[in-house]
Structure 1
Amino acid sequence: MLANIALQTVLKSSVGVFRGSGCSALTAAPRLTGGCFAIAPPVRHYARVVKKKKTGPESQLSDLPPTMLKSGYAAVPLLQTTDDVVKRLLSLELASHSDKLQLKKEQLIAKVQRDENDYTSVEVRVAILTTKIRNFQEHLQKHNKDKSNKRRMLMDIDRRKKLLKNLRLVNYDAFEKVCAQLGITYRFPPRVLQEGHSPLAG
């Protein structure tokens, strides 16, 4: 009985101390009967790991300026006097990926074609395949499990390799020009095994 009375007097005195020391700031904390004895729980700030963006190889479309017009609109004389909004709509700034790829393909064709009307020569076909192969490579850097596009890329690489091999045998100067203009590194096929030579021999 005496212990309960002593405990009540201690609690009442401590309530007065807490009220005088500015306990109103702890309103978010749970209160006990007769005053506030609980302190607000600490806020835990968990550190999050910042994900670094993967910097892959530079895209083949990065050298195209956004102010360049789409394919087929550069030669229209009426565009020189039109509004800036129309020019922006027809520029590469708002163009799709296929429009940019078409313009890049035309640029590579212009580097290697024999004349203005040449669209079927071996050099032009190599330039078209090079554009497709580089587009597949950029796609597979982001989606490395895309097996169907990887298969298409390997098929295009084999087609280009056969074209370059035939061009090298027929016209070596044109072969060197195509490799230099398109930035292609041609690797020679392995030597044919001679008769009686074992592939396991050192």
Structure 2
Amino acid sequence: MMLTNIALRTVFRSSLSVLRESVRTPQTCCAALPSGHNVSKVSTTFPLPGQIRCYARTTKAKVAPPKSLVSDLTPSMLKMEYAAIPFAQTADDIVKRLLSLELASHSDKMALKTEQLIAKVQRDESDRSSVEVKIAILTGIIRNLEEHMFKHHKDKANKRRMLMAIDRRKKMLKNLRLERYDAFQKVCEQLEITYTFPPEYYRKATKRWIAKKAFCIKVFNEVQKMKAEKKLQEATDKKSPGQEMPSLEKKKLKN
């Protein structure tokens, strides 16, 4: 009995080692049992699981970048501070290149573009503080920040500045539309602004809000009912003044 137990243990150990090797390499393996025992060879096959396919994620549709605000400015144009100087027009080519927009910074280009937007809507040449001019300045700021946010969508500080500028421009356009509709139309047409009306007031209908609204309607109806009764009472008192006269005369006679 002791010998048979030892033989069985060795058989189990050898079969476990064969199983481990077969899992690593898929092939038909024959486990040779120890000699001296009347046990035949065992052939087993261990197939590997099917091939795992890694499907790629669906690609998102690329959004076209917004049109650059300074794309229509040619490199040969002079900077804003040198455009009115006559020497800059007749200077050498190297000097003109230094004074032109070819080597200018983005802020210089934005200053020139803002002046062009102001010139479209200002009332006269010396107008720098009207509502139309302020709307033109805010429009330049908003479009510049939109282009910046498309490239740097995680820049929260500039996103906040852009939203604040949009809100300010909305208020100015709303007041201009109420006061001078012709100027409002001109500003929207020249600056290519699409004015949209603000959405209606929206509130989520929760259970508490529904119960509160029903209670307010009930109170309102009761108040209206009390007012109607009071008006009816006042009307009946005015229609019958003769009934009060005898009682007043009786008081006078008693006195």
**TM-score normalised by the chain length of structure 1:** 0.68
2:104 to 95, 104, 107: 95
Which letter does structure 2 place at the counterpart of 1:67? S
Match of 2:71 in 1: 62
Larger radius of gyration: 2
1:22-171 correspondence runs (5 A): 56-171=65-180
CA contact (8 A) 2:66 2:146 kept: no
Give the CA deviation at 1:78.
Answer: 1.2
Which letter does structure 1 place at the counterpart of 2:117? L
CA–CA distance in structure 1, aligned partners of residues 155 and 201 of structure 2: 34
Q: Identity of counterpart residues, as a percentage?
A: 69
CA–CA distance in structure 2, aligned partners of residues 179 and 62 of structure 1: 21
Deviation digits for residues 103-148 of structure 1 (CA, Å, limit 9, x no counterpart): 0000000000000000000000000000000010000000000000
Q: Which runs of 4+ in 1 moved over 2 A?
A: 190-193
Which letter does structure 2 place at the counterpart of 1:142? K
CA contact (8 A) 2:76 2:97 kept: yes
Which letter does structure 2 place at the counterpart of 1:145? K
Which letter does structure 1 place at the counterpart of 2:198? P
CA contact (8 A) 2:70 2:110 kept: yes
CA–CA distance in structure 1, aligned partners of residues 63 and 177 of structure 2: 38
Inter-CA distance 84–115: structure 2 relative to 1 (3 Å threshold): same
CA–CA distance in structure 2, aligned partners of residues 169 and 79 of structure 1: 45
Which letter does structure 1 place at the counterpart of 2:196? R
User: What secondary structure sits across from 1:155 in the alignment?
Assistant: helix
Match of 2:182 in 1: 173
Match of 2:220 in 1: none
Q: Which runs of 5+ in 1 are unaligned?
A: 1-52
Give the CA deviation at 1:74.
Answer: 1.2
**TM-score normalised by the chain length of structure 2:** 0.54
CA–CA distance in structure 2, aligned partners of residues 199 and 176 of structure 1: 36
User: What secondary structure sits across from 2:67 in the alignment?
Assistant: coil
Inter-CA distance 82–135: structure 2 relative to 1 (3 Å threshold): same
Deviation digits for residues 76-124 of structure 1 (CA, Å, limit 9, x no counterpart): 1112221110000000000000000000000000000000000000000
CA–CA distance in structure 2, aligned partners of residues 85 and 123 of structure 1: 38
CA–CA distance in structure 2, aligned partners of residues 134 and 93 of structure 1: 22
CA–CA distance in structure 2, aligned partners of residues 77 and 173 of structure 1: 38
CA–CA distance in structure 1, aligned partners of residues 193 and 130 of structure 2: 18
Which letter does structure 1 place at the counterpart of 2:156? K
Give the CA deviation at 1:178.
Answer: 0.2
CA–CA distance in structure 1, aligned partners of residues 64 and 201 of structure 2: 40
Name the structure, 1 or 2, with higher relative contact order (CA <8 Å, separation 6+).
Answer: 1
